[in-house]
Amino acid sequence: MALLDGKIALITGVANRWSIATGIARALHAHGARLCFIYQGERVRDEVEKLAAELGGAHCYPCDVRSDEALIELAAAVRRDYGRIDTLIHSIAYTNKEDLQGKVYTTSRDGFALALDISSYSLIALSNAFADLLGDDASIIAMTYLGATSIVPNYNLAGIAKAALEAIVRYLAYDLGPRGIRVNAISAGPISTASSRQVHGLRHILEMVAAESPLHRNVTPEDVGKTAVYLASDLSRAVTAEVHFVDSGFHAMGVCSNARAPEPS
């Protein structure tokens, strides 16, 4: 059953075939959505265009989300080529590597401003740029992580930026709700991607989730993509301002132990 026939989705954050955004793009396409992509920098252009060619020949647009002028140009190009947007996927984050290590109180002012601008404010900027292009009953979906609400060692400033992102999701949901536009976040479990590998100790985190989560496995970009299909479809038309965890249930664990509790007799 194609849940997204006739819908148009703008995807941000594709860096390579292993990206979470790539898993989301594939899932939306499989359910009938037409796609378009934005990317920043020539370094990822080939990968994004290759994926776009695989998924229906989607348009690809360069855009620096820190630039209001670039966002205005992007919105004009999408209006010209597609006319509207039904789903906006925000999968953008950046933190200087030095701000993912050490102590939070040593974070530089410039590093803080950069991380919050790219990782958090960009959701506001994109929503503003596409406000007139988002159809009624559209869906905005942002990617977040457990480090927004819990301490994840070495996630540091990235967690602070995700906390801001989750707050933005709630306030945008309130502002856009009268138009039927839903705004939600997906909190994915740790996945080995180019960006997540910048977090020191990622291998240990992956091992812990596989060992301690209720489902005893790590999640994949495909798992996240399936949840994105639900949030982009009419199945979730009464769901907004929510953070949906796709992490094998790890977020619900209060205490982790290497030994499972004995089975009831």
Give the active site residue among 145, 171, 174, 230: 145
Phi, psi of 136 (to 5 degrees): -60, 140
Determine, yes or no, domain membership for 43: yes
What range defines the domain where residue 212 resides? Answer: 8-248
Q: What is the value of pTM for the model shown? A: 0.94
Determine, yes or no, domain membership for 263: no
pLDDT at 259 over 90: no
* Rounded Cα distance, 139 and 173, in Å: 10
Mean of the per-residue pLDDT values of the chain? 93
Give the active site residue among 94, 155, 171, 174: 155
Structure tokens of 261? Answer: 């509790």
- Count of the separate structural domains present in the chain: 1
Active site residue 105: no
CATH code of residue 122: 3.40.50.720
Determine, yes or no, domain membership for 234: yes
pLDDT in tens, 24-64: 999 999 999 999 999 998 999 999 999 999 999 999 999 99
pLDDT in tens, 58-75: 999 999 999 999 999 999
3-state secondary structure of 89: strand
Determine the residue type at 226: K
Active site residue 145: yes
